[in-house]
Structures are given as structure tokens and as C-alpha cells.
């Protein structure tokens, strides 16, 4: 059983401040503290996967600010670090039909979630609302759509209560561990980190034991993507590209045939015949 894990930071146990995730100084103590939380949660999830009988665990540091260098030296060496395989269009290394199931760790709720701690979809202060096939969606849905193209289901997530509620609503077959309760966009009450990490290990193992392959999300193509920005200037920058529709000053929409293209943004030279 091969398990693929993508980590983020906003939903980690022990993380309760923007700077722990985004301080631009690589050496700042507050950011280093955030990276220690990342590695500790990752190790709990890796242990849970091996407890469940995994033969291989592949792990990707998916938090953009980290530039794929977020795990500290304390990362469990049994896990194999993976990377972005290609950027245009974006492809994830090691997430393919060989994988039994995938997990999202330290994830945050979708843009527009009340009391989602640092809730966003891709771009924290630009994107107000993101829809896939007319339904509000976040980064969890994007990854589930991509993985579903290979028949790989979402088995497990960890994050704040809002993220866990999002998972229960959209992917009811997935297991989850709440790490904190959001009280505002950038404020939260943390749950005790040692207890949360013990739960991550246990819940990850249980989720892998019960996940069904046919839970993979495979909507029929084509797939409609709609993005509402905070400011119409951001929509201006995309609206002139081939295949982009603009039903409102701040909204752009387009259609994809391959679900793996969910991360692709319209750009110059996009879809030239």
C-alpha cells in the first residue's frame, strides 16, 4: 500500500499565527517554530500510515512559502520526499495510479469559511470564492479532483474544525483530526498538541484501513471552474485569454477537460490550437 501525503501549515497542531506560516525570513524563530510543528505533525501521520501497513509513504511539502524545503532534519526517514514534477501544466510527483489513497495534513478551509483559521483557496487575500462545477470548493477539492484522475481517493485530513467540517460535507468517507478551533480569520484556540498528534497517528491508521478505492472523486468531464476575485483588476489580467468567460467584473470562468489541469491558470499561449 503506497500512501501519498501533502502537507500545509495553516491547519497544523501548534500553529496559531500567520508569521509561523509566512514570515519571509527563513531564519526567524517564529517561522522555524512553524516548521518544527510541520515536521512533528508529518511524523505522526507517517507513523499512522506505517501502522496501517503502508509499504511506502510519499510526502510533499505543499505550503507554497516553503519552496519544498519545509521539513526539518527530524522528518521520519522512512518517508520519501516528493516534489512538483512539472509546472506547465502542474503535475505532482509520485501521485499516480500506484497510490492506494492520499491524505492532506495541516490543511485550511476554503476561501469564505466563517471562522476558518487563515481560510483561503490558493491566494489568501485575492480570491473570495472558488467553484468547481458550480459548487464552492477549496484546496482539498482541488487535490481530490487531481488524485481522482488516477482513481486515488482522499483518505484523511487534519486541520481546524472548519476544515474537518468541510471534509465531512464534501468527502464523507474521509477520516479527520481537528487540531484547533478558529475564532476569526487569523485567531484560533489550539488543542493540546501532544494529544492532537496521538490522534493524527491513530486516525490516519484507521482511515487507511477503511478507505474505499471507489471513493475517488471522478466527476465527468468537462469540468467548470469559476473564480471570484476581491478586485476586478485581477479578473482583467485573465479575461482576455482564450476560453475565459467573464460573467461579472470580478469573476472569470473556464472549462477543463483533464481534471489534473485544475491547477492551471489561463495564461498567454494557453490552449493554442
Residue 56: which H helix or E strand, with range? Answer: strand 56-61
Q: 63 or 180: whose CB is closer to Zn ion?
A: 63
The span of 55-63, 160-168, 212-220, 224-232 binding Zn ion (CB under 5 A) equals 55-63
Residue 96 to residue 253: CA distance in whole angstroms: 28
Range in contact with Zn ion (rule: CB under 5 A) among 3-11, 31-39, 144-152, 254-262: 3-11
| Minimum separation from the CB atom of position 85 to Zn ion (A) | 20
- Choosing from 2, 6, 8, 121, the residue that interacts with Zn ion (CB under 5 A) is 8
Task: From 1-9, 52-60, 149-157, 163-171, give the range in contact with Zn ion by CB under 5 A.
Answer: 1-9
Pick one of 58, 63, 100, 201: the residue that binds Zn ion (CB under 5 A): 63
Cα 228 from Cα 50, distance rounded (Å): 41
Integer Cα distance of 120 and 111 in angstroms = 4
Contact 61, 25 (CB under 8 A): no
**Residue number with CB closer to Zn ion (107 or 193):** 107
DSSP designation for 4: E
In the bound complex, what is the minimum distance in angstroms from residue 209's beta carbon to Zn ion? 28
Q: Which is nearer to Zn ion, 8 or 160 (CB)?
A: 8
3-state secondary structure of 143: helix
21 phi, psi to nearest 5 deg:
-100, -30
- Number of amino acids touching Zn ion (CB under 5 A): 2
Angle 62-87-244 from CA coordinates, rounded to 5°: 105
Report yes or no: 259 and 232 within 8 Å, Cβ to Cβ: no
Nearer to Zn ion, 8 or 16 (CB): 8
Nearer Cβ to Zn ion (95/104): 104
Name the segment binding Zn ion (CB under 5 A); options: 2-10, 83-91, 141-149, 255-263. 2-10
Rounded to a whole number of angstroms, the minimum distance from the CB of residue 18 to Zn ion is 11
Stretch that binds Zn ion, among 8-16, 67-75, 132-140, 184-192 (CB under 5 A): 8-16
SS3 assignment, position 120: coil
CA atoms of 77 and 71, how far apart (whole Å): 11
- The closest alpha carbon to 158, from 2, 1, 3, 5, belongs to 5
Q: Of the two residues 58 and 63, which places its CB atom closer to Zn ion in the complex?
A: 63
Q: How far is the CB of 107 from Zn ion (least distance, A)?
A: 8
Binding map of Zn ion across residues 160-199, x = CB under 5 A, - = no contact? ----------------------------------------
Q: Is 228 in the site for Zn ion (CB under 5 A)?
A: no
Contact call for residues 128 and 230 (beta carbons, < 8 A): yes
CA dihedral 260, 262, 267, 273 (to 10 degrees): 50
Residue with Cβ nearer Zn ion (8 or 261): 8
Distance CA 91, CA 146 (A): 9
Binding residues for Zn ion (CB under 5 A): 8, 63
Amino acid at each position: 500500500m503506497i500512501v501519498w501525503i501533502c502537507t500545509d501549515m495553516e491547519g497544523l497542531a501548534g500553529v496559531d499565527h500567520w508569521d509561523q506560516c509566512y514570515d519571509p525570513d527563513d531564519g526567524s524563530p517564529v517561522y522555524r517554530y512553524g516548521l518544527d510543528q510541520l515536521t512533528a505533525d508529518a511524523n505522526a501521520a507517517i507513523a499512522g500510515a506505517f501502522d496501517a501497513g503502508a509499504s511506502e509513504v510519499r510526502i510533499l511539502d505543499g505550503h507554497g512559502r516553503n519552496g519544498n524545503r519545509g521539513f526539518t532534519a527530524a522528518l521520519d526517514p522512512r518517508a520519501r520526499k516528493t516534489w512538483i514534477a512539472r509546472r506547465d501544466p502542474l503535475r505532482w510527483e509520485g501521485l499516480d495510479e500506484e497510490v492506494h489513497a492520499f491524505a492532506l495534513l495541516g490543511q485550511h478551509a476554503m476561501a469564505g469559511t466563517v471562522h476558518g483559521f487563515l481560510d483561503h483557496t490558493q491566494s489568501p487575500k485575492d480570491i473570495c470564492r472558488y467553484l468547481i462545477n458550480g459548487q464552492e470548493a477549496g484546496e482539498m477539492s482541488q487535490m481530490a479532483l487531481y488524485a481522482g484522475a488516477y482513481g486515488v481517493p482522499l483518505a484523511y485530513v487534519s486541520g481546524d474544525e472548519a476544515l474537518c467540517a468541510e471534509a465531512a460535507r464534501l468527502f464523507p468517507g474521509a477520516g479527520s483530526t481537528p487540531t484547533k478551533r478558529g475564532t476569526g480569520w487569523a485567531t484560533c484556540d489550539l488543542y493540546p498538541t501532544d494529544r492532537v498528534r496521538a490522534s493524527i497517528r491513530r486516525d490516519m491508521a484507521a482511515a487507511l484501513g477503511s478507505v474505499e478505492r471507489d471513493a475517488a472523486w471522478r466527476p465527468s468531464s468537462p469540468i467548470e471552474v469559476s473564480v471570484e476575485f476581491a478586485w476586478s483588476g485581477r479578473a482583467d489580467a485573465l479575461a482576455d485569454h482564450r476560453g475565459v468567460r467573464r460573467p461579472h467584473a470580478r469573476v472569470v470562468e473556464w472549462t477543463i477537460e483533464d481534471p489534473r489541469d485544475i491547477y492551471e491558470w489561463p495564461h498567454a499561449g494557453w490552449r493554442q490550437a
